[in-house]
Amino acid sequence: MRSQLIPRLVAAVAAGVAIAVMGCAGSLGSAGSGSSGPSNAHPDSASRSVGPAEGLGEPTGVLDEATLVRVLDGDTIRVLVNGVEERVRYIGINTPELHPGGPETPAPFAQAATQANSDLLSSGRLVLEKDLSERDRFGRLLRNIWIEQDGSWMLVNLQLVADGYARVSTFPPDVKYVDL
Protein backbone atom coordinates (compact mmCIF):
# COMPACT_ATOMS: atom_id res chain seq x y z
CA MET A 1 0.00 0.00 0.00
CA ARG A 2 2.77 2.44 0.95
CA SER A 3 4.66 1.74 -2.29
CA GLN A 4 1.58 2.84 -4.25
CA LEU A 5 1.07 5.99 -2.21
CA ILE A 6 4.40 7.65 -3.07
CA PRO A 7 3.99 7.51 -6.89
CA ARG A 8 0.43 8.86 -6.51
CA LEU A 9 1.65 11.67 -4.30
CA VAL A 10 4.43 12.55 -6.76
CA ALA A 11 1.93 12.53 -9.65
CA ALA A 12 -0.49 14.76 -7.72
CA VAL A 13 2.24 17.26 -6.86
CA ALA A 14 3.50 17.29 -10.46
CA ALA A 15 -0.03 17.90 -11.74
CA GLY A 16 -0.48 20.76 -9.27
CA VAL A 17 2.80 22.34 -10.32
CA ALA A 18 1.88 22.01 -13.99
CA ILE A 19 -1.48 23.68 -13.39
CA ALA A 20 0.16 26.50 -11.42
CA VAL A 21 2.79 27.07 -14.10
CA MET A 22 0.15 27.08 -16.83
CA GLY A 23 -1.88 29.56 -14.81
CA CYS A 24 1.14 31.87 -14.41
CA ALA A 25 2.03 31.61 -18.08
CA GLY A 26 -1.54 32.35 -19.10
CA SER A 27 -1.73 35.41 -16.88
CA LEU A 28 1.53 36.88 -18.12
CA GLY A 29 0.11 38.10 -21.43
CA SER A 30 2.67 40.34 -23.07
CA ALA A 31 4.74 40.33 -19.87
CA GLY A 32 6.35 37.08 -20.97
CA SER A 33 7.81 38.70 -24.05
CA GLY A 34 11.04 39.52 -22.24
CA SER A 35 10.84 43.28 -22.79
CA SER A 36 12.94 45.05 -20.21
CA GLY A 37 11.30 48.47 -19.96
CA PRO A 38 8.03 49.46 -18.39
CA SER A 39 4.97 49.08 -20.53
CA ASN A 40 2.11 51.56 -20.66
CA ALA A 41 -0.45 49.28 -19.03
CA HIS A 42 -0.94 46.00 -17.25
CA PRO A 43 -1.34 43.29 -19.94
CA ASP A 44 -4.81 42.44 -18.66
CA SER A 45 -5.83 45.99 -17.69
CA ALA A 46 -8.79 46.20 -20.06
CA SER A 47 -10.45 43.12 -18.56
CA ARG A 48 -8.93 43.11 -15.08
CA SER A 49 -11.39 43.18 -12.20
CA VAL A 50 -10.68 44.95 -8.94
CA GLY A 51 -8.08 42.88 -7.12
CA PRO A 52 -7.54 42.40 -3.40
CA ALA A 53 -5.01 45.24 -3.30
CA GLU A 54 -7.47 47.77 -4.65
CA GLY A 55 -10.27 49.33 -2.64
CA LEU A 56 -8.44 49.00 0.70
CA GLY A 57 -8.90 52.64 1.36
CA GLU A 58 -5.77 54.71 1.23
CA PRO A 59 -2.34 54.74 2.85
CA THR A 60 -2.38 56.12 6.39
CA GLY A 61 1.29 56.23 7.42
CA VAL A 62 4.09 58.65 6.68
CA LEU A 63 3.92 59.26 2.91
CA ASP A 64 6.26 60.46 0.20
CA GLU A 65 5.31 61.02 -3.39
CA ALA A 66 7.91 59.52 -5.69
CA THR A 67 8.85 59.40 -9.34
CA LEU A 68 9.82 56.02 -10.70
CA VAL A 69 13.35 55.94 -12.13
CA ARG A 70 13.68 52.21 -12.76
CA VAL A 71 12.24 48.85 -11.75
CA LEU A 72 15.16 46.75 -10.49
CA ASP A 73 13.21 43.53 -9.89
CA GLY A 74 9.90 42.31 -8.49
CA ASP A 75 10.35 43.90 -5.08
CA THR A 76 12.94 46.68 -5.52
CA ILE A 77 12.76 49.97 -7.41
CA ARG A 78 14.74 53.19 -7.86
CA VAL A 79 12.78 56.41 -7.33
CA LEU A 80 13.25 60.12 -6.94
CA VAL A 81 12.00 61.37 -3.57
CA ASN A 82 12.38 65.08 -2.86
CA GLY A 83 15.04 65.30 -5.57
CA VAL A 84 17.12 62.41 -4.19
CA GLU A 85 17.42 59.07 -6.01
CA GLU A 86 16.78 56.16 -3.64
CA ARG A 87 16.61 52.37 -3.86
CA VAL A 88 13.38 51.14 -2.28
CA ARG A 89 12.72 47.61 -1.02
CA TYR A 90 9.06 46.61 -0.71
CA ILE A 91 7.94 45.70 2.81
CA GLY A 92 6.34 42.33 3.52
CA ILE A 93 7.06 40.48 0.26
CA ASN A 94 9.79 38.64 -1.60
CA THR A 95 10.03 37.85 -5.29
CA PRO A 96 12.46 35.62 -7.23
CA GLU A 97 15.85 37.24 -7.76
CA LEU A 98 16.93 38.37 -11.23
CA HIS A 99 20.64 37.72 -10.58
CA PRO A 100 21.03 35.06 -7.86
CA GLY A 101 24.06 33.45 -9.52
CA GLY A 102 25.14 36.24 -11.84
CA PRO A 103 23.52 38.23 -14.66
CA GLU A 104 23.09 35.19 -16.90
CA THR A 105 21.07 33.07 -14.46
CA PRO A 106 17.77 34.61 -13.32
CA ALA A 107 15.70 32.56 -10.88
CA PRO A 108 12.56 31.00 -12.35
CA PHE A 109 9.77 33.58 -12.71
CA ALA A 110 12.09 36.50 -11.78
CA GLN A 111 11.58 38.22 -15.13
CA ALA A 112 7.81 37.73 -14.90
CA ALA A 113 7.74 39.24 -11.38
CA THR A 114 9.84 42.19 -12.55
CA GLN A 115 7.53 42.82 -15.51
CA ALA A 116 4.42 42.53 -13.34
CA ASN A 117 5.90 45.08 -10.93
CA SER A 118 6.71 47.41 -13.83
CA ASP A 119 3.20 47.05 -15.26
CA LEU A 120 1.54 47.86 -11.93
CA LEU A 121 3.77 50.89 -11.32
CA SER A 122 3.00 52.37 -14.72
CA SER A 123 -0.70 52.67 -13.92
CA GLY A 124 -0.84 55.74 -11.68
CA ARG A 125 0.69 58.12 -9.14
CA LEU A 126 3.41 56.47 -7.02
CA VAL A 127 3.32 56.97 -3.25
CA LEU A 128 5.66 55.41 -0.68
CA GLU A 129 4.32 54.62 2.80
CA LYS A 130 6.70 54.14 5.72
CA ASP A 131 5.93 51.44 8.29
CA LEU A 132 8.32 51.60 11.29
CA SER A 133 11.83 51.02 9.90
CA GLU A 134 13.54 53.55 7.68
CA ARG A 135 16.15 51.37 5.91
CA ASP A 136 17.32 47.77 5.61
CA ARG A 137 20.89 46.54 6.19
CA PHE A 138 21.73 47.34 2.54
CA GLY A 139 20.72 51.00 2.90
CA ARG A 140 17.50 50.68 0.91
CA LEU A 141 14.37 52.54 1.99
CA LEU A 142 11.75 50.12 3.30
CA ARG A 143 8.28 51.08 2.11
CA ASN A 144 4.80 49.94 1.19
CA ILE A 145 4.19 50.98 -2.40
CA TRP A 146 0.86 52.51 -3.38
CA ILE A 147 -0.50 53.54 -6.75
CA GLU A 148 -3.30 56.12 -6.93
CA GLN A 149 -5.34 56.40 -10.08
CA ASP A 150 -8.56 58.37 -10.42
CA GLY A 151 -9.07 58.44 -6.64
CA SER A 152 -8.64 54.68 -6.22
CA TRP A 153 -5.67 53.24 -4.32
CA MET A 154 -3.81 49.96 -4.86
CA LEU A 155 -1.21 48.48 -2.51
CA VAL A 156 1.32 47.13 -5.01
CA ASN A 157 3.01 44.87 -2.43
CA LEU A 158 -0.29 43.05 -1.84
CA GLN A 159 -1.25 42.96 -5.52
CA LEU A 160 2.02 41.19 -6.42
CA VAL A 161 1.20 38.51 -3.82
CA ALA A 162 -2.41 38.21 -5.00
CA ASP A 163 -1.28 37.84 -8.61
CA GLY A 164 1.21 35.10 -7.68
CA TYR A 165 4.43 37.01 -8.41
CA ALA A 166 5.51 37.42 -4.76
CA ARG A 167 5.23 35.62 -1.46
CA VAL A 168 4.68 37.06 1.98
CA SER A 169 7.97 37.61 3.80
CA THR A 170 7.86 39.71 6.94
CA PHE A 171 10.58 41.21 9.07
CA PRO A 172 9.17 42.70 12.28
CA PRO A 173 8.58 45.42 13.24
CA ASP A 174 7.38 46.26 9.69
CA VAL A 175 4.14 44.26 9.69
CA LYS A 176 1.38 46.84 9.18
CA TYR A 177 -0.34 44.88 6.36
CA VAL A 178 0.72 41.33 7.25
CA ASP A 179 -2.85 40.25 8.02
CA LEU A 180 -3.94 41.23 4.51
- Mark whether 89 is an active-site residue: yes
Single out the catalytic residue among 86, 129, 140, 143: 140
Question: How far is the C-alpha of 64 from the C-alpha of 103, rounded, in Å?
Answer: 32
Q: Which of 86, 89, 129, 143 is catalytic?
A: 89
Give yes or no: 140 in active site: yes
CB atoms within 10 A of CB 22: 10
Q: Give the number of residues written for the chain.
A: 180
Q: 52 - beta bridge partners?
A: none
Of 54, 87, 97, 148, the active-site residue reads 97
Active site residue 97: yes
- Those residues with Cβ within 8 angstroms of residue 43's Cβ, 6 or more apart along the chain or in another chain: 28, 29, 30, 31, 119
* Active site positions, annotated: 89, 97, 140
